[in-house]
Amino acid sequence: MTPKVAIIGAGFGGLCMAIRLERAGIGSYTVFEKAGDLGGTWRDNGYPGAGCDIPSHLYSYSFEKYASWTRRYPGQPEILKYLHHCADKYGVRRKIRFATEITAADFDGSRWHLTTEGGRSEAFDVVVMGVGQLNRPRLPDIPGMREFEGTSFHSARWNHEHDLTGGRVAVIGNGSSAAQFVPHVAERAERLELFQRTPNWVIPKPDATFAPAARLAFRYLPGLQRAYREWIFRYAENTLYPALAQGWSRELLRKRALAHLHAQVADPSLRAKLTPGYPAGCKRVIIDSAFYPALCRPNVDVVTDRIVRITPKGVRTAESSYEVDTIIYATGFRSTEFLAPMRVTGRGGRDLAEQWADGAEAYLGISAPNFPNLFLLYGPNTNLGHNSIVFMIECQVNHIMACLPHLSRGGRLEVRPEVMAAWRARLDASMARMVWGGCQSWYKTAEGRVTNNWPGPATLYRRLTARPPRRAYRQV
Ligand code: N01
């Protein structure tokens, strides 16, 4: 008897899991999706200029290579189209229950009971969480935000009805999201004030469209597409990863970013504002070629004074006041609150949020002690700053698929506590050599524990997740 599987979330992770089950002939699964459409972060982040800074041919499933990519780096509409294509091609769309938010998952000693927002409950043998790390926008806590009389919104909830043409716009935050939409807003707005708390390292994005001949070659020469994908992957592993691990390319990354800054920003005072004072890679490096030119426009100002208040008319800093019509919060996500706001209770009524009070953790980022048959995709310590998350998700799905045969006929697998303890020690040891200690970022809890990033090469993660699960897990 195949287990009954619930997958929560229909983004890259949830869809991958559903497709792999479908391909294995296991039809006893349901995907729960809180929104009315699939796509996860690529459905939510529809701001102008949204896209991915990992090349298209790598930012896709290995089993569904796609010859139709039009650009080297995919835009959000194209990624969303790809996900729809996958859902239809592999027949998983019919298994998605849209507009169904799961608010609680409770283990009763033998099965998981999922509760929907509407109060309905359904039992499953296995739960796979595919809710992502960057799914809940984080609004800052600045006094007076509610008093603002203009229009305001978060970058991941873009107000497409609101016309920015000719208006005065404040953008708060300058991470990857802001870097992508600022050039578009700057072209339309009369004035744009970018409020920067900490500068970021930026390297160029060598984007280009694929000529029709190249696309034909990718379509008819699958070996070419495989080789290209492998080349991008190896480049990321062998050049970018060592920079994050403070290895041979660390100085190269810094110099590349500084050269990019010097090439694109002529004004020395603006350059000084944009020069970070922490190691490159500590926060997510921005890969973009249009951000700096936008900041050099005469209608754009980079404000580095501390914001003290949002007023009815705009933004007040320690030094000055700025009247604006629109405030765009590009302030990131509640990245360390994994699975929130869902309540998850495991064996013996153990609350997962309580177990994770000092920071989320899971063996391989996939399984947590006391929570049998509960698996996470893109869970704790599986984010990358150098390579494709889709690769990591596929490793996780491979691992879960290897667990499934042990879960038929009422089997319940739980990671052994000693395996989890060894995993934690291994992560701590590897974390010490990584660059992330030198600044605050969305990779860390407020207390400074890195809960989001994987501190090794992606190939190592593939090897570890490919191990047979028998030794790490016990039946409960
Ligand atoms: O968010 P962020 P994001 N007052 O957390 C500032 C992925 N992504 O949405 O650095 C003033 O990076 C904060 O300042 P500081 C990618 O992994 C990928 O831009 O904390 N400022 C920072 O500048 C990325 O890393 C793509 O000092 C405040 C900004 O807000 C992740 O998503 C594209 C503040 C938040 O930056 C998140 O990016 C886009 C306050 N109170 C995004 N609070 C790809 O291309 C926060 N800030 C794959």
Residue 126 sits in a domain whose CATH number is 3.50.50.60
Atom of ligand 1 nearest to the CA of 50: 33
Distance 175 CA to ligand 1 centre (A): 4
Q: What are phi and psi of 300, to 5 degrees?
A: -120, 140
Same domain, 25 and 117: yes
Same domain, 172 and 199: yes
Distance 465 CA to ligand 1 centre (A): 29
Q: Which residue, among 200, 188, 164, has the nearest Cα to 332 in the 3D structure?
A: 200
Q: Is residue 322 part of a domain?
A: yes
Q: What sections of 204-247 are H helices per DSSP?
A: 212-220, 222-235, 241-244
Mutation probe of ligand 1 site: the residue of 176, 203, 452 with most atoms within 8 A of C-beta? 176
pLDDT score recorded for residue 394: 98
Domain boundary among 329, 364, 381: 329
Atom of ligand 1 nearest to the CA of 198: 27
In this structure, the number of other CB atoms found within 10 A of the CB of residue 346 comes to: 22
Mutation probe of ligand 1 site: the residue of 205, 284, 286, 327 with most atoms within 8 A of C-beta? 284
pLDDT score recorded for residue 468: 84
Same domain, 166 and 285: yes
Mutation probe of ligand 1 site: the residue of 331, 443, 453 with most atoms within 8 A of C-beta? 331
Same domain, 465 and 339: yes
Q: What range does the domain containing 427 cover?
A: 5-136+334-475
pLDDT score recorded for residue 248: 97
Domain boundary among 302, 329, 356: 329
Same domain, 74 and 108: yes
Atom of ligand 1 nearest to the CA of 332: 1
How many domains in the chain? 2
pLDDT score recorded for residue 382: 98
Instruction: For the chain, give the mean pLDDT.
Output: 97
Distance 173 CA to ligand 1 centre (A): 6
Q: Is residue 213 part of a domain?
A: no
29 strand-pairing partners: 5
Q: Is residue 312 part of a domain?
A: yes
pLDDT score recorded for residue 147: 97
Alpha-carbon 225 to chain mean position: 25
Q: Is residue 299 part of a domain?
A: yes
Same domain, 310 and 164: yes
Cis preceding linkage at 341, omega within 30: yes
Lookup: tokens for 101: 């938010």
Distance 440 CA to ligand 1 centre (A): 11
pLDDT score recorded for residue 469: 85
Domain boundary among 329, 355, 388: 329
Atom of ligand 1 nearest to the CA of 385: 17
pLDDT score recorded for residue 408: 84
Q: Is residue 225 part of a domain?
A: no
Q: Is residue 214 part of a domain?
A: no
Atom of ligand 1 nearest to the CA of 156: 9
pLDDT score recorded for residue 311: 98
Does the pTM surpass 0.95? The reply is yes
Q: Which residues of 162-198 are buried (b: 16+ CB within 10 A; e: fewer)?
A: eebeebbbbbbbbbbbbbbbbbbbbeebebbbbbbee
* 67-73 contacts at long range (C-beta below 8 A, 24 or more positions apart): 67/215, 67/218, 67/219, 67/225, 68/215, 68/219, 69/210, 69/215, 69/218, 70/209, 70/210, 70/215, 71/207, 71/208, 71/209, 71/210, 72/206, 72/207, 72/208, 72/209, 72/210, 73/205, 73/207
Same domain, 197 and 315: yes
Between CA 81 and CA 219 the distance in angstroms is 17
Give, to the nearest 10 degrees, the angle between helix 76-89 and helix 12-23: 20
Atom of ligand 1 nearest to the CA of 197: 27
3-state DSSP assignment of residue 278: coil
Q: Which contiguous run of DSSP H or E holds residue 121?
A: strand 121-124
Same domain, 66 and 113: yes
Same domain, 324 and 339: no
Distance 437 CA to ligand 1 centre (A): 17
Q: Is residue 424 part of a domain?
A: yes
Give, to the nearest 10 degrees, the angle between helix 458-465 and helix 389-403: 10
Distance 172 CA to ligand 1 centre (A): 10
Between CA 52 and CA 48 the distance in angstroms is 13
Distance 439 CA to ligand 1 centre (A): 14
Query: Is residue 195 within 8 Å of 273, Cβ to Cβ?
Result: no
Burial tier of 306 (Cβ tally within 10 Å: 0-12, 13-18, 19+): exposed
Report the nearest-CA residue for atom 41 of ligand 1. 140
In this structure, the number of other CB atoms found within 10 A of the CB of residue 362 comes to: 25
Instruction: Output the ligand 1 site: residues, CB below 6 A.
Output: 51-53, 134, 140, 142, 155, 172-178, 180, 195, 197-198, 284, 307, 330-332, 442
Q: What is the 3-state secondary structure (H, E, C) of 337-378?
A: CCCCCCEEECHHHCEHHHHCCCCCCCECCCECCCCCCEEECC
Lookup: tokens for 438: 């030198």
Query: Is residue 3 within 8 Å of 404, Cβ to Cβ?
Result: yes
Pick out the chain residues at pLDDT < 70.
none
Q: Is residue 343 part of a domain?
A: yes
Distance 307 CA to ligand 1 centre (A): 16
Distance 178 CA to ligand 1 centre (A): 7
Same domain, 171 and 320: yes
Same domain, 277 and 422: no
Between CA 312 and CA 152 the distance in angstroms is 11
Report the nearest-CA residue for atom 10 of ligand 1. 198
Mutation probe of ligand 1 site: the residue of 197, 283, 303 with most atoms within 8 A of C-beta? 197
Same domain, 76 and 98: yes
Residue type, 427: L
